[in-house]
């Protein structure tokens, strides 16, 4: 019985410590990147490139609400002359799933010229997108566009890869961010710290456009 009580106590302590560390890491990343994140297109510094981070695309090629908000915000940046071009970085891991072309088609349908688009078909996650933006596409200054919950991690990665990137919070409609996405984001902070410490080289990261 005494062993059981100790086991329960230690388990509870470990769970509490895990929660505190997770929340502390989230707070640290938010504080570390706060000066580089903007919520208003009009106040963000200009840059050569906007980077749109991919998200889910429907089977018919339509953008999910969360992705459309990112892309619409990038359009605002371009039309307000805050950027000269847009890098689309997303998942094109199979012939049947292609975030990049779906975003490109949406942008072209909304008046963005083809020659102002850069396509990264190997932006499989946030770290890959940030790493490849610089090492493959040679982007030195950029505005990263994604939602408020995701932006601190993206800018944290960019900052600790030595990149002069700022972030714009994508305008949000009244869609619900699922709890599993928020939980996954908290856990992804651990992965981000590991990747920037060890400077992991993504697959297909050799310089090519």
Range of the domain at 47: 2-198
Q: Which uninterrupted H or E stretch holds 165? A: strand 164-169
Asked if pLDDT for residue 47 goes beyond 50, the answer is yes
Q: Give the CA count within 13 Å in the CB-facing half-sphere of 99.
A: 25
DSSP per residue, 29-45: HHHHHGGGEES-TTTSP
Does residue 20 belong to any structural domain of this protein?
Answer: yes
Q: Which of 122-126, 161-165, 176-180 has the lowest mean pLDDT?
A: 176-180
Cβ 158 vs Cβ 165: under 8 Å = yes
pLDDT digits (tens, 9 = 90+) for 14-35: 888 888 888 889 999 999 999 9
Does residue 48 belong to any structural domain of this protein?
Answer: yes
In this structure, what CATH number is given to the domain that contains residue 163? 3.40.50.620
Does residue 206 belong to any structural domain of this protein?
Answer: no
Does residue 209 belong to any structural domain of this protein?
Answer: no
Asked if pLDDT for residue 208 goes beyond 50, the answer is no
- Lookup: tokens for 55: 């998200």
Q: What is the mean pLDDT of residues 188-206?
A: 82
138 phi-psi bin (left φ>0, alpha ψ -120 to 50, beta other): left
**pLDDT-based confidence at residue 43 (cuts at 50, 70, 90):** very high
Does residue 79 belong to any structural domain of this protein?
Answer: yes
Question: What sign for the dihedral angle of Cα 115, 120, 121, 123?
Answer: negative
pTM, 2 dp: 0.89
Total number of domains in the chain:
1
Does residue 123 belong to any structural domain of this protein?
Answer: yes
Does residue 204 belong to any structural domain of this protein?
Answer: no
Does residue 14 belong to any structural domain of this protein?
Answer: yes
Euclidean distance between CA atoms 105 and 101, whole angstroms:
6
């Amino acid at each position: 019985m005494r062993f059981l009580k100790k086991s329960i106590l230690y388990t509870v302590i470990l769970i509490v410590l895990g929660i505190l560390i997770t929340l502390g890491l989230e707070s640290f990343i938010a504080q570390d990147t706060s000066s580089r994140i903007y919520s208003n297109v009009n106040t963000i510094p200009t840059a050569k490139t906007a980077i749109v981070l991919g998200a889910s695309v429907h089977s018919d090629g339509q953008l999910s609400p969360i992705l459309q908000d990112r892309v619409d915000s990038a359009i605002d940046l371009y039309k307000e002359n805050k950027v000269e071009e847009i890098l689309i970085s997303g998942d094109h891991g199979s012939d049947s799933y292609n975030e990049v072309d779906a975003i490109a088609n949406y942008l072209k349908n909304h008046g963005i010229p083809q020659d102002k688009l850069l396509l990264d078909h190997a932006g499989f996650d946030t770290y890959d997108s940030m790493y490849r933006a610089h090492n493959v596409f040679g982007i030195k200054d950029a505005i990263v566009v994604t939602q408020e919950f995701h932006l601190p991690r993206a800018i944290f990665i960019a900052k600790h890869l030595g990149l002069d990137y700022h972030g714009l919070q994508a305008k949000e409609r009244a869609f619900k961010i699922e709890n599993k996405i928020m939980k996954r984001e908290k856990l992804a902070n651990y992965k981000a710290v590991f990747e920037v410490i060890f400077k992991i080289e993504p697959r297909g990261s050799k310089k090519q456009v």
